């Protein structure tokens, strides 16, 4: 039986103890609350779970899902939703089927586990497209949705989450159909009024895509989607932690409003993440990396670059939040593991240290929260 010793992340606190691993599962937990060497022990946390990631380690879901999954595991993320950009519904459905087929082939390999696909669009508001290609958006229709999901509920294509804008014509029908099909609805790339966002939550929406970014903001006479995401417990709010997409003050507001149990730390990383590069090319466009954030170059000389995504792993974001004093180590790790696992209804299996859960675990040396070990199903990947 393999054993790990350290300060275990249990119920939002760090407690010295040991974990016994057998047959890929956590088989035993022994606490050592009075140990004298606790401060020198590594932090042992669940492997991180990324709900929103487009690429990593020079790979993306369509070109090399395996390379992406292996790269993520080496950076502490042990489960993820590969996120696809908008396309024509029929083509997007075919892409999803292809990626899900590749995910099945990876199921028994020592790599981050694919826990379903996330489609960011195509049923979003063009006025809030952000970095998404407006030309690839589609009008909301059940017929278009069925082309994406394919036969029956879409299980054969692994689609677990779809981001849509609740205010666009036909969105209500899509939400009802997605709830019926068992697909998570996340609200984003939207100019929704608060009433429209709340109605979507009552109809079954369960998420808010990258809080603050590409969504209607909080105003004292119109709370917008931001206001609802900060107050509606039915919505798990994704939040990007590079401290560029969301500044420190706004992140502190979100954490005060929702707590670590209501926020899911997501990378929204692009293909160049995890490579250390300063420039990369993807989808026919140049991307510039600055301090963990990816930008499109200015459209005109002297103009401002446009946010495109990040070049950070979740663990890098955890470090940024802790170093800036925005979150404690347990809070940051909870947002990156336990909360996203709960958002996916996988909290009995992932995102927590408990007997019977998968032994997807990370060991972090302190100070600095440097990754010393990453285990997937009890197997070391670094």
CATH number at residue 183: 3.20.20.140
Q: Is residue 281 part of a domain?
A: yes
pLDDT value at residue 155:
62
Separation in Å, CA 300 to CA 5, 295, 355: 55, 14, 56
Q: Is residue 361 part of a domain?
A: no
Could you give the CA distance from residue 329 to residue 333 in angstroms, rounded to a whole number? 6
Residue 153 has pLDDT above 70, yes or no: no
Q: Is residue 379 part of a domain?
A: no
Could you give the CA distance from residue 86 to residue 45 in angstroms, rounded to a whole number? 34
Q: Is residue 163 part of a domain?
A: yes
**What is the band of 154 on the pLDDT scale with cuts at 50, 70, 90?**
very low
Q: Is residue 296 part of a domain?
A: yes
Neighbours of 121 (CB within 10 A): 24
For the chain, give the percent of residues with pLDDT over 70.
99
Residue 361: beta bridge partners?
Answer: 46, 375
Separation in Å, CA 358 to CA 78, 261, 347: 11, 20, 10
pLDDT value at residue 156:
76
For the chain, give the percent of residues with pLDDT over 90.
89
Domain boundaries, position 147: 47-350
Exposed, middle or buried by CB within 10 Å (0-12, 13-18, 19+), for 54? buried
Intra-chain end-to-end CA distance of the chain, in Å: 19
* DSSP annotation of 247: -
> For this structure, is 95 an active site residue?
no
Output the average pLDDT for the chain: 95
Coil, strand or helix at 348 = coil
Q: Is residue 20 part of a domain?
A: no
Q: Is residue 359 part of a domain?
A: no
Task: Specify the number of domains making up the chain.
Answer: 1
The region that residue 351 occupies, defined by phi over 0 for left and psi between -120 and 50 for alpha, beta otherwise, is: left
The backbone torsions φ and ψ at residue 176, rounded to the nearest 5 degrees and listed phi first, read -60, -40
| Of the candidates 314, 288, 277, 285, the residue with the CA atom closest to the CA atom of residue 76 | 314
Q: Is residue 4 part of a domain?
A: no
| Of the candidates 328, 337, 338, the residue with the CA atom closest to the CA atom of residue 369 | 328
> Which tens digits make up the pLDDT trace of 47-84?
999 999 999 999 999 999 999 999 999 999 999 999 99
According to DSSP, the β-strands at 48-53 and 77-84 are parallel
Lowest-pLDDT choice from 142-146, 235-239, 298-302 = 298-302
| Of the candidates 32, 56, 43, the residue with the CA atom closest to the CA atom of residue 8 | 43
Average pLDDT over residues 215-229: 97
* DSSP result, 292-315: TEEEEPPSSTT---EEEEE---HH
CB 60 within 8 A of CB 282: yes
Neighbours of 366 (CB within 10 A): 14
* DSSP annotation of 259: -
pLDDT value at residue 251:
98
Which listed residue (60, 95, 268, 360) is catalytic?
Answer: 268
> Which tens digits make up the pLDDT trace of 322-362?
999 999 999 999 999 999 999 999 998 999 999 999 999 99
pLDDT value at residue 333:
98
| Of the candidates 235, 256, 126, the residue with the CA atom closest to the CA atom of residue 187 | 235
Could you give the CA distance from residue 332 to residue 2 in angstroms, rounded to a whole number? 27
CB 121 within 8 A of CB 137: yes
* DSSP annotation of 84: E
> Which tens digits make up the pLDDT trace of 189-217?
999 999 999 999 999 999 999 999 999 99
> Which tens digits make up the pLDDT trace of 88-147?
999 999 999 999 999 999 988 899 999 999 999 999 999 999 999 999 999 999 999 999
């Amino acid at each position: 039986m393999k054993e790990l010793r350290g300060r275990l992340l249990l119920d939002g606190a760090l407690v010295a103890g040991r974990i016994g691993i057998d047959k890929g599962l956590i088989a035993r937990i022994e606490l050592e609350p009075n140990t004298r060497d606790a401060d020198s022990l590594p932090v042992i946390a669940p492997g991180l779970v990324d709900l929103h990631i487009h690429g990593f380690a020079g790979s993306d879901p369509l070109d090399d899902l395996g390379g992406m999954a292996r790269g993520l595991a080496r950076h502490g993320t042990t489960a993820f939703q590969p996120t696809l950009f908008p396309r024509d519904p029929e083509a997007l459905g075919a892409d999803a089927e292809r990626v899900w087929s590749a995910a099945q082939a990876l199921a028994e390999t020592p790599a981050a586990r694919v826990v379903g696909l996330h489609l960011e669009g195509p049923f979003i508001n063009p006025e809030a497209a952000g970095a998404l290609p407006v030309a690839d958006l589609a009008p909301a229709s059940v017929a278009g949705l069925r082309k994406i999901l394919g036969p029956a509920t879409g299980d054969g294509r692994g689609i677990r989450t779809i981001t849509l804008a609740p205010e666009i014509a036909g969105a209500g029908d899509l939400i009802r159909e997605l709830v019926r099909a068992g697909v998570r609805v996340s609200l984003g790339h939207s100019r929704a009024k608060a009433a429209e966002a709340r109605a979507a939550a009552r109809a079954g929406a369960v998420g808010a895509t990258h809080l603050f970014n590409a969504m209607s903001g909080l105003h004292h006479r119109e709370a917008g989607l931001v206001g609802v995401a900060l107050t509606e417990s039915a919505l798990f709010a994704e939040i990007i932690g590079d401290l560029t997409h969301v500044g420190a003050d706004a992140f502190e507001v979100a954490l005060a409003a929702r707590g670590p149990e209501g926020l899911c730390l997501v990378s929204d990383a692009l293909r160049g993440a995890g490579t250390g590069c300063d420039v990369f090319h993807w989808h026919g466009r140049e991307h510039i990396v600055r301090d963990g954030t990816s930008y499109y170059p200015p459209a005109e000389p002297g103009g401002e670059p446009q946010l495109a995504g990040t070049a950070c792993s979740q663990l890098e974001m955890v470090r940024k939040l802790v170093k800036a004093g925005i979150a404690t180590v347990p809070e940051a790790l909870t947002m990156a593991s336990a909360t996203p696992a709960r958002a996916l209804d996988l909290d009995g299996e992932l995102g927590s240290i408990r007997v019977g859960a998968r032994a997807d675990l990370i060991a972090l040396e302190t100070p600095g929260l440097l990754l010393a070990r990453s285990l997937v199903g009890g197997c070391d990947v670094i």
